[in-house]
A and B are shown apart, each in its own frame.
Chain A
Amino acid sequence: MQITGMLQGARLLEFVDFPTAEVLGPDATEEAIKSLIERHGAVFVKPVFKGGVGKKGKSGLIGRATDLKTALAEKERLYFAEHRHGNQYAKANGVTFEGAVPATHEVYFSITDSTQFRAPTMTLTHCGGVDIEELDPKLVAQVPFDPLTGLKAFVVANALADIGAPKEVISPLVQQLPKLWELFHDFGMTTLELNPIRMRPDRRGRLTPVACDFKGGFDRDDPRWHRLKLPPHLFAADYSDFEQEINQLRTHQGQSDVYVINDQGTILAPTFGGGANSLVTEMLGDDAIISSDFGGNPPYEKMKSVASICFKHWLRQSNVLFIIGGKSNNTDIFETFRAMADALREHFSEHGPTPLYVVVGRGGPNLVRGMGVVRDTCEALGLPYRLFGFDSAMSEVVDHAREVNEWMKAGGREAIAARLGLTSEAARVA
């Protein structure tokens, strides 16, 4: 859950009275853009991506204009710009126009939780505007501080002194930067990065830090960011329909975390426990449709809803329904298995049978009763199955599921379809 760019960033910074560059959104009129250029001498035109997209400058996705014609040309170029960074792909929908801030100093500032210090940590340098990793560590201050008292002016002052910052930037930064802690801590953020903050001189030469780019990460488990009343579509791009449906069931009991790995996959693996999730998804690779963690002892109703959503979206293309977890500590196997079995039965009633092989690996309270329900359901639905206890290595069970998947691809699916009285078309779906 990330927000980048000044369109929303400027709004957030206003909450704590932190000065920002002037920004116009995609619907700005030509008069407004012209006036912005006249007041600031130039504007930066930046594409608007949902969620977090970094390194736009390096990808040539920032335009600069000193006249309206160029500004509009850049708007046309960048409005639907596409951006690829690592595994992430994003398509813009709109641009912002940001008034240029002339300055001689550019500052990098961030707050995040450091696992090295196990405390909130400020990263600060007066040599900003570039990738922080490229700088000499001596020029970068990384300072943990006490969250109970917050980011204090003296922490900023000491840090700037340690890295030898020019003296004219120290006072304005010491005055302004501590405000950012309130935005970070009180609104459920996990990362706040301003890069660059440009030090704009006023008529008398006094400097004011002006945020010219914004990146913020928000904590999904912290309701404090709801106070910001951010438009919900900002985060919507992060989730598929399926993930969104599952997320609606998200409560503190039962994880119900999902991620679509391969929407063409053929193994549907409801997984229990973060550890099992890591192991299983790694071993299944692209055969897996989703990566999931449904552990945490979900109650029957929730588990059944989660399973129904999974089946609705993915069962038809699945060769293998693979229910997998370690030896659970407190997740009731009878409750969770009964819920999934009932959901499967209902899915077959509603949407008709589909060729499927069921593989289960699990341990925990009420194990045998739970497996009994899965067995009965498979028998009633006419599906082949193998159910393993915790005394079979989980990785062996994963391999078995993969082997079953290969067999299904090589004619097994047709064989089950024929047995279920389905047409060969049903068999071909996967």
Chain B
Amino acid sequence: MYKEGVGDFKYYVGISSLSQIATRDDRVCVLNILGGESSEVTPVGHAWSGGNVVFGTSPGRRGQVLETPIGHVPVYNSVREGLADGHRFNCGVVYLPPSAARDGVAELIRVNPDLKKVFIITEKIAVHDAREIRAMGQSNGIDIFGANCLGVADAWNQVRIGGALGGDSPGDTLRRGSIAILSNSGGFTTTIAQYLRMAGWGTTTLVSSGKDVYIHYAAPEFAFALANDARSKAAVLYCEPGGFYERDAEFNKPVVACVVGRWKAKLTRAVGHAGAMAGGSDDAAAKERWFMDKFEVDGLFTPEKPVFSAKGAVVTNIAHIPAALTAVMRANATLPDFEPEGTMELKPWFGGNGGLALPASLELPVVTAPAPYGAQIAALSQQVGAVFPRQAMKDASGASQMDPATQVSSLHGLSMLDAAQNPLEANFSLALLHESGGENDRKLVNVALGAALALYGDPALAAAEAAREAGNAPNSVLAAAVSVYGPRRSEAAQRIAHELVERFAPTGLKDALDERFDTDAVRLDPDLAALLYRDEPDPLAERMLAGIDERGARSVFVRHLRSQGGNPSADAVLAAITTTLAWGPLMRKRISRLTADSLPAWVRLFGTLLGASVPAGQHDADSFCGIPIAEIVASRSITEIACIALLGSTPKPADLSAFQNLVGMLLTNGPGTISAQGAKGAVSADGPESPERVQLNKAMAGFLTHTGYAHGGNGFEGVSFLLRQFGDSGLSDPGDPAHGLDLEAMALSYADEYAQYKSERKAQGSLDVHKIPGINHPVFKDKPVNHDPREVFIARLAEKRGEYNVFHAFYREVVQALFQRGVSRNVYCVNVDAVIAALLLKITWQPWRRGEMPAEALETAAFTVFLYARMLGCAAEIDDHLNRGRNMDTRSAASRCRFVA
């Protein structure tokens, strides 16, 4: 049944010494050499072993080669072809898939009479095939290693065959010494060698045995070959439960046996290594006992209780192997092979506390990793900001999402209901910096945006005015303005922002508001100086700097700019402001470098949009809507200025909070909205994989052109409905609860009117009944009384503030009246569009009544407030797509498009 080999075995064993397992004379043929795993590890092993692979096979790929650092390895269709070409080998390595491994072994044995050793790396080979592989090896006198192993290596011969012992840099782990290793775990073969090396022990031959049911090269023959290997003074065995292999091994050299897997007695199924099951007389406890009997010890070796003899020690934790080995070898009067290379104590390479105070025992300081890893980590640390994986971003967003259950959208994790309570300047930060920012951030945003909206004499304003005069809707007017505002207009500021990050990051600056930071740490070289300063004072820069002073805003970068003496340019002040805003999120890796670099452009674009939304007549050299620019920059909030731009007059505090609510609620509705799709499509078409080529102003134009009378402009429908109801009511102040109107009666009267209209339409046989704007919702329906949670939220918020809105109250009466009059089967919800209409009409009611704002202007205002909000939300989408998207990723495959006849 089996061929006669060496030793007194009942089966064939051909290897008499460990030194013969992997030698410099071995020549190797690799089956499936171009497979995923082999193509990665074979070149490394081949180079380290001085070129031991003579050829490989891969059916149908004859003529191809496997590239390695020391030259190409030829590839043939089959072993026979390789031999016919004159190659000779004595070792076969099998990287075939499990179903093909057995046949590969058969091919090696049948075709090559010189074959002596086979190394099977393949895992998950059926036991059926393993049986037959065993039998083939036995009857032909071939030593087989594995399967499911990582091959073998020899630190003395500097040879590795099959698999990947020592990883991608075998020399880092395999240092010549006196210890042989046999391990059921491929990973631990290398790990144990690494541990030994730290404790001063080098290695001879390392054998990864695998842990299938059939282990073809196992402990008994390893023990025999160990005895005959003059280089090996001792061995380390790593054993898992299952199989009687170790029981029959007879050692005459010291051994440390690591037996793990007692817990597997609890399992009812194999996990990890197929054969590593427990419960029989070959479980972990049994294996521990076998070794204890062999070593004549009565316990396990632990650092606390070191039990060992000159014959060996048993451990259950691989970390104890080096200590046990040193103890056993000392009993044999043998010292380690070399000075220990390190310790195994805890050494974190990276760490962060997530902003928490951790207990001292967990607060492990980060240490410098050993070479070459330390240098790699240092290089990595210089990378500033987040890096997002690129993927197709069609209909996807990393910025916004809508919860389908509540219909509440969120932007960078903040719900629109929460955003509605924040001022516009905070939502600017939210959109682009992913955080709402603090008080100082708001001051800086107010300065920067306040300065940017002064467009007097700017061609963007002229373009907007021309578009407006030609009868365009507000979105097209603004699109004309931003189209003029091309990339070159913020190029200088963006470059400065980039340079500031480049130069300040290495200083370790954590907090951009740090008053104690020594700004001299960043030296001013001529290149930077030329960017930052001008010969003549720049009035806009001075205005902004004055605004910063006036507001008491802090910034390391602005301080740096001033400390160097000279006339800072407006670009430099803007870049200093945006870099201050970006610094925290950048250091916390919330945003990318790209986003930080783009910020000056965003400020200018928003300024242009706000500025151009007001007719040119409202601009002059020093004022905007009649307010001095210096005052806007120095003391006004951008929320207030935007509200003035919208209404043409100074809002009351209640109007301002209504405006703020409106902007927050309209920020985003997720990536599926048409406006977001337009913005994303514009980025996709420019190609975000080359982000420097993406035109942000064009992307904003994409957003603007994807809004219109149906999307964005429809806010006016609710307003005009309310105007019809209240136009002749004589209402003077919609915020006064004592308005003197009988809302219930008005609602009932409207419900009657609507019921009549509806029945008339039905009588005419028409199903086309116009719906009441702001009422009912496809999601919030079917309950006896329905509510849109967003409407409820705003109502509660107003109540808390003691604010009243007669239009909102009327809407609530209308849904009741419709139910009472039998128009609706249940009480419809008042939806979020009604809230928006009610808020909008509340703040425009007085100008409308005074005749300062005709109905068309109201419609424009309704559309414009949507654009104000959505410009932030869409900027977030654009920035997100710029960071994550792929070129042309928003297109639809032709197969998904339809032709309609």
List the interface of chain A (C-beta within 8 A of B).
86-88, 113, 115-120, 146-148, 185, 188, 190, 219, 221-224, 238, 252-253, 255, 257-259, 261, 272-279, 281-283, 285, 291-293, 295-297, 299, 325-330, 332, 338, 342, 349, 363-365, 367-369, 371-372, 374-376, 378-380, 382-397, 400, 403-404, 407, 412, 415-416, 419
Q: In whole Å, how far is A301's beta carbon from the nearest beta carbon of chain B?
A: 12
Decide: A119 near B134, CB < 8 A? Known: A219-B126, A397-B346. Answer: yes
Q: In whole Å, how far is A86's beta carbon from the nearest beta carbon of chain B?
A: 7
Residues facing A in B237-280 (CB within 8 A) are 238, 240, 242-245, 248, 260-264, 266-276, 279
Q: Does B355 contact A (CB under 8 A)?
A: yes
Contacting pair B389 A391 (CB below 8 A): no
Task: A275-B183, A327-B167, A393-B345 given; name 10 further pairs at CB < 8 Å.
Answer: A115-B275, A116-B248, A219-B126, A222-B126, A252-B98, A329-B41, A369-B380, A371-B349, A376-B386, A392-B346
Decide: A389 near B187, CB < 8 A? Known: A365-B167, A416-B354. Answer: no
Q: Is the interface of B mostly helix, strand, loop or mixed?
A: loop
Q: Is the interface of A mostly helix, strand, loop or mixed?
A: mixed
Decide: A221 near B124, CB < 8 A? Known: A119-B134, A274-B273. Answer: yes
Contacting pair B352 A384 (CB below 8 A): yes
Contacting pair B317 A279 (CB below 8 A): yes
Contacting pair B588 A380 (CB below 8 A): yes
Residues on B with C-beta less than 8 A from A295 are 187
Contacting pair B128 A396 (CB below 8 A): no
Q: Does B213 contact A (CB under 8 A)?
A: yes
Contacting pair A278 B261 (CB below 8 A): yes
How distant is the Cα of A81 from the Cα of B260 in the complex, in angstroms? Answer: 36
Residues on B with C-beta less than 8 A from A115 are 213-215, 242-245, 275, 282
Q: Does B195 contact A (CB under 8 A)?
A: yes
Q: In whole Å, how far is A20's beta carbon from the nearest beta carbon of chain B?
A: 24
Would you give 29 A-B contacts (Cβ < 8 Å), ordered by A?
A: A87-B267, A113-B127, A119-B131, A147-B134, A190-B213, A221-B127, A238-B269, A261-B266, A275-B185, A275-B318, A278-B272, A297-B37, A326-B187, A327-B190, A327-B194, A328-B190, A329-B187, A330-B150, A330-B164, A365-B167, A368-B377, A372-B350, A372-B377, A385-B354, A392-B344, A392-B347, A393-B344, A394-B318, A416-B354
Residues on A with C-beta less than 8 A from B282 are 115
Q: Does B168 contact A (CB under 8 A)?
A: yes
Closest residue on chain A to residue B373 by CB atoms: A368
How distant is the Cα of A426 from the Cα of B266 in the complex, in angstroms? Answer: 32
How distant is the Cα of A283 from the Cα of B398 in the complex, in angstroms? Answer: 39
Decide: A396 near B345, CB < 8 A? Known: A221-B98, A278-B272, A378-B352. Answer: yes
Closest residue on chain A to residue B245 by CB atoms: A115
Looking at the complex, which one of B213, B262, B380, B588 makes contact with A368 (CB distance below 8 Å)? B380
Residues on A with C-beta less than 8 A from B6 are none
Query: Which of B357-365, B726-734, B764-772 touches A?
Result: B357-365
How distant is the Cα of A405 from the Cα of B93 in the complex, in angstroms? Answer: 44
How distant is the Cα of A327 from the Cα of B168 in the complex, in angstroms? Answer: 11
Contacting pair B168 A365 (CB below 8 A): yes
Contacting pair B346 A147 (CB below 8 A): no
Residues on B with C-beta less than 8 A from A326 are 185, 187-188, 190-191
Q: In whole Å, how far is A42's beta carbon from the nearest beta carbon of chain B?
A: 34
How distant is the Cα of A375 from the Cα of B279 in the complex, in angstroms? Answer: 41
Q: In whole Å, how far is B339's beta carbon from the nearest beta carbon of chain A?
A: 16
Residues on B with C-beta less than 8 A from A330 are 37, 40-41, 150, 163-164, 167
Residues facing A in B742-795 (CB within 8 A) are none
Residues on B with C-beta less than 8 A from A391 are 194, 198, 342, 344, 347, 369-370
Residues on B with C-beta less than 8 A from A188 are 126-128
Contacting pair B263 A285 (CB below 8 A): yes
Q: In whole Å, how far is B465's beta carbon from the nearest beta carbon of chain A?
A: 43
Contacting pair A419 B187 (CB below 8 A): no
Q: In whole Å, how far is A209's beta carbon from the nearest beta carbon of chain B?
A: 25
Closest residue on chain B to residue A87 by CB atoms: B266
How distant is the Cα of A419 from the Cα of B125 in the complex, in angstroms? Answer: 49
Closest residue on chain A to residue B125 by CB atoms: A221
Contacting pair A222 B319 (CB below 8 A): no
Q: In whole Å, how far is A189's beta carbon from the nearest beta carbon of chain B?
A: 8
Closest residue on chain A to residue B126 by CB atoms: A222
